Every structure is written in structure tokens, then in C-alpha cells.
Structure 1
């Protein structure tokens, strides 16, 4: 396959994979980005494995899609974003975005539940549900890959380092406490569980981050997290302890 002829300004040629059983999502994103930037796009489909392999060999590239502007190859989707001076996500970069999104969603869920039951979103129950919902969602993140979570958790949790099975039990304990706290039932179980795992977790995080000054990733949102260990994980554990104490002194 020959290199594309030079195009005029405002035009681009995009080669992307469009097969019977697979349409490349990065190709669709590249097409959308080019059109959003005002380009007229010549959208060329690679519809078979043979076409794809031949295209890669002809142009010396490893991936598709590939974009050409004014006859020059720009590259894949990330290269296209760089061409337009747009931010390209680094999958290894430290980020708080997953935690912010999670807490924002659980807060909205708690407010919605309060409004549905009491006619107003702003009640004490909303605060309690926010913590309990957050515990459940955090548990879901850990339960997606218990082994991955446990491996990361063992890097800093004091109890898990002394008794490894605790790292595998932790997500289930957090989920159990969260569900029971939402229902307001079996306080004899949910309160001690939350106090125990929250207390041990808070001490472990404080020691690792603020005493030992270690730079670690937080296992709080799962084993594939790029969230740094520190304030967020400490808050998670303090919230559990606070919720347990609240349930001791206040009726649900």
C-alpha cells in the first residue's frame, strides 16, 4: 500500500480497523476528534486481517488507527491528541480521579435515598448512608480482584503483614459492614467489624505514610489503583470508625 498523497489544509486521511466482529474504538475516537477539529476526513476502513497486516508492514507501524494530515503521518490516537496540543493520559500517572468520582457518586446516592424516604436530601441519615454506600463501593472495587488488592494491601497493612489471610478477608468484611450499616441491622456485628478494620487500617496508613514516609499506592480502590496511599485511605478508615461510633450512640 502506497503512502497517501498530500492533502490540502483541513483534510485528513484516517486508516482504521472496521471488521465484522470488531470495530476499533480508538479509530472511532480519532474520527470524532478530527471532525471536531474541523477536518474533512477520508475514512478508509481496514476490513480484514490481511489488509491490516499489509498496512502495518507498508508504513512500518505497530498499531492502527493511523492518521495522515497534509501527506504526513501523524500516528495513532494519542499522537493525534499530541498533534493538537491536547493532554494525553499516562496510565501510570498518580491520580485521585477514581476516588473523587466514587465519593461524588455515593454522596449523590445518599442524598437521593434521603429525599426518596424523608422528602429532603439533607438529613442525618444521608450522612450515614454516604459512609455506608462508600464502604460498599470501595468493597466492590477490591472484590473485582481480591488477589491484586491483597498483594498491594500487604505492602502496608500491619495486621495483614503478620497474618496474610486478613488481606483476603478485608474486602468481604468491609462489604458486610457496609451492607449492615445501610440496613441499620445487626449492629452487634457491623459496629465491631467497622471499628476493627477501620482502626487497624488507620494506624497502618498513618505509620506507612506519616511516620515511615513511604511512597505507596493505595489499595483502597482495588489492586490496579494509581491512587497514592495517604489522606484518602486514612479518611476511608476514619469514616468507618466514625460511622461505627455514631451507630453506637445514635438510633438509625
Structure 2
């Protein structure tokens, strides 16, 4: 009987090798860059400063790369049990370091390689994530952006609120601060989903879970060169936010 069981097990291993091929498990000693190699194409903006009263600390792409790259147990780390990148940000009621021109706290990745690109080509970013906790801002936490490299303002921001409503904020002026808002779907908190930001052939689209694309005109902005941002940009006053990222895929051509 033992021989029969051993033989059968060997046969199954040969026939179905995937059954015994496990995905490597994240370890506490390994930084997020060891699991998401694309992090080496981003700079990281944090809600902490290197000096008292200083602006937000920024970690360059070179220091995010690999298992020995940057990690922070409060704001930016790998969840060992569920295998995803945890990005947390405090509300404005909690003192935090901010980037220049912003009133809000963030733990956010800014595309650095390339640092900008033309919308006349193909440019897509697809992110698989869950929002573990959205903030109490008017439209919730910003989880993704197409950002202008020309006038240094968002072209669009993708918001997620505590009710799971996903909203696109489309900028209407190069001065910034004049967004038009469009609800594009509802996904409950702590539910894994994907979004795609596509700024290609001078047209901008946003889609959820591979569904129908929502089209947004950017002619009022002059179709500027841009770059992608992704992460946890807290818009609230009193509620912290958490965004958990499983994967980020970017295509430029």
C-alpha cells in the first residue's frame, strides 16, 4: 500500500507540477522592491520629513529596488501574510510633511523611469489593489493620478471613498484646483479590483476591472506631457487611509 501511494504521488507530481510549485512567501526582512520589481521605476513620496519642519521625504527609485531596498514599518512595507504592498497616510489633523503646493499627506509613488512621456504614444498603467481604509475627504483617497509634467498639476485624479465609490476628478485649467467629478463605479472597501489609466493617442480613458472605458477630454489642457502616480494620497481631515497594492503594470510605446 505504501509503494502504491508513493508511486501515485510521483505520477501526480510529474503530471501536475504546478501542485508542488509554490509562490515564494514574503519575508519580514525583505523590502517591497524585492516583490514588486517595478518599484525601481518610481520615486516614493512620504508623509515624514528628514528634518523638523521640512518638506516630505522623497526616496529615489534606486533605493526602492530589490529586497534590500527602502521600507518603513509605519507607512510603506510588505504584508507578509497576504503578499501585498501596504501604503498608509495620515489625515491633515495629524502633523505630517507635505510636498510643495499640497495641503494633504501622502505615501505615493511618482513615475521616474521615464520621468515623463508624450500622450501621442501608448501609455497605460494597470494597478491591482484593495483600499483597506478610505479617508473622510469629499471624494475619498486618491489612489492614482495622471500628472502633468508641463504645468505640474494633476490631469486626472482617481478617488475612492468609504462607501466604495470610485470617482474621476478631471482638471479643467492649467492653474489647477478646478476639477469636474464623474462617478465611474462602486467597489466595497477591502475588495480587490483593478483600474487602468490610459493616456494614449492624445486621449484619456479610465476603466475598472477591465470593463468599458470612460473617456475624458484633455484638449482644454493642451494634451500635456505627463507621468503616472499611484498609492495613498489622503484627502481627509481626521481619518487615516490605507491602500494595499498587489501589482502595478505600465506600458509605454
Coarse TM-score class (shorter-chain normalised): under 0.3
Q: Which has the higher helix share?
A: 1
Q: Which has the higher strand share?
A: 2
Question: Which has the larger Rg?
Answer: 1
Q: Normalising by structure 1, what TM-score?
A: 0.24
Q: Normalising by structure 2, what TM-score?
A: 0.24
